[in-house]
Structure 1
């Protein structure tokens, strides 16, 4: 094939909607981590998860495993024919696009052109634009699942994709479930406590159950969200029903385990997690959750000083380290597991080991905002309670506060800073630094009059401080 025809082929490939053109969403992503999760989802199965083989094929291509990628796409086609039957052509748009790209990269240009021809036939009656692409609900849905599997920064895009799919197919259970999942994850990251009447994820999960009362994963996800709003009776009923109808669903088991852990029934949570691990023993998520459960038992034991058997304590610490360590081994970039492992080391008197982990985490690049905030909050707590350095703790909490607003980690930074500032002012009412921190916190919370008052007080004891003057100019632009 001539260079001109090759370039023409590449132009057409660039117009496709598939993982090879959505590739940028996989930049700066731990491919091994996503790959393991996709492989687990294939093992687990599930009513609604898109076509994980498609995304798995793209990852294998990125890792240089083109033959394996081709097998993934063949399996994707087989599954689509098996599940969707008459709807196969519309469902295969993304898969055919991936195959065209893969054959192009493998130098099999005639095969690539063959799949472009198939797409032209399929899409010509579906699209007003190029006849080799069509933004039908099936394509929006597949892009939504792909975004959900990539990284947390893509959750907003996933939400928009499922919303677009629902515009044309509002009663489709899969797109409704995808939309609910995106909303659930976004709310989990934001940490903003809303009441259930205005929570978008609660409303959408109820919508899924209206369309499909047998959707057990939606049922237990809804239970978790209602638990946060202290609607315990309905939440209990939802979880029990989900476990009754889908006792062997690993997705149900993992969500139910979290539910019971939050309910302080840690032994039941551990039992459910052990059962889930039988299906996916290489799940870093499940091992991390096991570690958290054993840490809960450890904390409860330490609070009850009368039963603080050092032998039991040592066993629980070993369990925590085993599961957090396994999670890290399976997923070396698992930042939350590393933070939790460091926390256990501190509890066990292994400060040097914890500090080594913290130093490594601080040196990482391309860390997502929520994980960066998690690092800063734990470093602040470490400085506050272990090195007894309020100044260093303040620095970390302030850094965490600046990363992103309104998340659960933001709230923890805010609360710690407020507590430190008030404690310092109680010790010394003329502490300008503490007054300045209070002013900053009030400004962050939108309490401008209180912020002005604090900055003015701070300036009485630190005249000419440019930081406080600048803050006042922003808060009182007309003066």
Structure 2
């Protein structure tokens, strides 16, 4: 057991939320904070129920209940960055694959995350079922992992009942938590709570990599030899690199993941992430890791990344791996996104006499996917289908963009950037309207999320500036400078010159041609 001073330090680093503090917020780095104030309860339950409960319990007692809930460690208090940044539907579909194929000790916390996401969609019955499933899994875990998992699950129960207006039920779970884990919280639980928070952050999106990294570093301060925590740190570093592309993060990620693949030879997610990091460092080793992972893993996400690696190298391998992945999980929406990109690369690189056949095959298959899976988040498949339609009928392409524009408010920031990018390219190449193309690229660039789509919007604006009048070029450069000046702190150090480094060589040619 650590001494008192070190325990205090760890508790501070573990981001306690009873006082509303979050180191990332204090440093001005977090732009994804969800402020769960009392008024937000009106978004998830009818006014009449809330008013009845307020009359029965009084606003003071409900405010006190809210303060106690805010002090819990659970998915409702971790500011995971879903609202306004990643659509719950997309994350739920991605999470279903994660739960099925993840390491056993992660399943309970991921089911708790699933409950939180269902709640955001207003599906509270499904949310409560996910928590029941989580309870079953956490009883099979090691003692400390199980205890931390129970604390998180009961916290989620309390929050869901509170937001439904069931204050007595919420209070019951709070009392249960206080009985099982009377304050102060056992310091031995801190690393396991932080690790579960880290895994939850990673399950949402790559942008959370740095916050997840902090969680696993805190966990490793108390248990430096825990291979489970080390694997989490390696993956957090990989996710951080995939978002920011900083070379120093890549080097640290390689060191951690090299250790993980030695300690956990069946951890194919660690192996496929290491392969991606080594792609421009040691291509031979990278290929060996990718081939091993594709051959031995049944995880659709591992197979998806393997297929993406082979897209520009071997059409036969790409389609074979994708077919295997779709057999494992035909509902995994990101596989269809890879398939759409595969068709585009095939069409771009085909001989002139073969282009028509590839185009027809692509349109037929992507059209069937869209019709067969209306509930999947497959925006990028629709955009690629639109682009293929535009080869033979530009009006049909624009019609799809207009239909998607009507649903713009339901799209994620990345989705809105992608729509602006594709529509901008349509105006540029099909309508020959530089002004309308510029407006679309500017719209995409204004959305403050670091994505491939935003970068390409910026690159196309710079290319436009090189070929237009000096006055028009000045307008573009001024717009980009002013936009960048107001970006969140996380964009610091990301310059235009470094944008295309990850797409060196043939990958960059793809963007230039598209």
Structure 1 length as normaliser, TM-score? 0.75
Q: Tell me: higher relative CO, structure 1 or 2? Use CA pairs within 8 A at least 6 residues apart.
A: 2
Query: Secondary structure at the residue paired with 1:92?
Result: helix
* Aligned with residue 357 of structure 1, among 379, 383, 400: 400
How far off is 1:386 after superposition?
A: 0.9
- Ranges in structure 1 where 5+ consecutive residues have no aligned partner: 129-133, 426-430, 447-479
Q: Which residue number in structure 1 is paired with residue 83 of structure 2?
A: 27
Distance 1:35 1:414 in 2: 30
Q: Which residue number in structure 2 is paired with residue 169 of structure 1?
A: 223
Query: Secondary structure at the residue paired with 1:365?
Result: helix
Distance 1:424 1:61 in 2: 50
In 2, are the aligned partners of 1:101 and 1:112 still within 8 Å (CA)?
no
How far off is 1:53 after superposition?
A: 1.5
In 2, are the aligned partners of 1:9 and 1:113 still within 8 Å (CA)?
no
In 2, are the aligned partners of 1:324 and 1:340 still within 8 Å (CA)?
no
Q: Which residue number in structure 2 is paired with residue 450 of structure 1?
A: none
Q: Does 2:187 match 1:140?
A: no
In 1, are the aligned partners of 2:227 and 2:263 still within 8 Å (CA)?
yes
Q: Structure 1 residues 95 and 434, CA, compared in 2 at 3 Å: closer, same or farther?
A: closer
Distance 2:205 2:148 in 1: 27
Query: Which deviates further from its counterpart, 173-182 or 230-239?
Result: 173-182
Distance 2:261 2:197 in 1: 23
Pair member with larger Rg: 1
How far off is 1:413 after superposition?
A: 3.3
In 2, are the aligned partners of 1:60 and 1:68 still within 8 Å (CA)?
yes
Q: Structure 1 residues 24 and 208, CA, compared in 2 at 3 Å: closer, same or farther?
A: closer
Distance 1:270 1:99 in 2: 43
User: 1:137-179 deviations in whole A, cap 9, x for unaligned?
Assistant: 2222222333333456555443433343333334433333334
Q: Which residue number in structure 2 is paired with residue 59 of structure 1?
A: 117
Q: Does 2:471 match 1:432?
A: yes
Counting only pairs closer than 5 Å after superposition, residues 47-126 of structure 1 correspond to structure 2 as: 47=104, 49-50=106-107, 51-63=109-121, 65-85=123-143, 87-102=145-160, 105=164, 107=166, 109=168, 112-113=171-172, 116-122=175-181, 124=183, 126=185
* Aligned with residue 391 of structure 1, among 425, 435, 440: 435
Query: Secondary structure at the residue paired with 2:140?
Result: helix
Counting only pairs closer than 5 Å after superposition, residues 301-340 of structure 1 correspond to structure 2 as: 301=350, 304-308=351-355, 310-323=356-369, 329-332=374-377, 334-340=378-384
Q: Structure 1 residues 208 and 24, CA, compared in 2 at 3 Å: closer, same or farther?
A: closer
How far off is 1:439 after superposition?
A: 7.5
Distance 1:322 1:201 in 2: 40
Distance 2:452 2:92 in 1: 28
User: 1:395-437 deviations in whole A, cap 9, x for unaligned?
Assistant: 3334444444875445433433343333346xxxxx5324654
Distance 1:283 1:405 in 2: 24
What is the RMSD computed on CA atoms of the aligned residues?
3.7
Q: Which residue number in structure 1 is paired with residue 273 of structure 2?
A: 221
Q: Does 2:86 match 1:41?
A: no
Distance 1:335 1:396 in 2: 17
In 2, are the aligned partners of 1:294 and 1:319 still within 8 Å (CA)?
no
Distance 2:294 2:331 in 1: 23
Structure 2 length as normaliser, TM-score? 0.70
Q: Structure 1 residues 435 and 102, CA, compared in 2 at 3 Å: closer, same or farther?
A: closer
- Ranges in structure 2 where 5+ consecutive residues have no aligned partner: 1-52, 486-514
Q: How many residues align?
A: 425
User: 1:250-272 deviations in whole A, cap 9, x for unaligned?
Assistant: 332222122222x4212212221
Query: Secondary structure at the residue paired with 2:409?
Result: coil
User: 1:365-419 deviations in whole A, cap 9, x for unaligned?
Assistant: 3755444433333233222211112233233334444444875445433433343
Query: Which segments of structure 1 move beyond 6 Å, counting only runs of 4 or more?
Result: 438-446
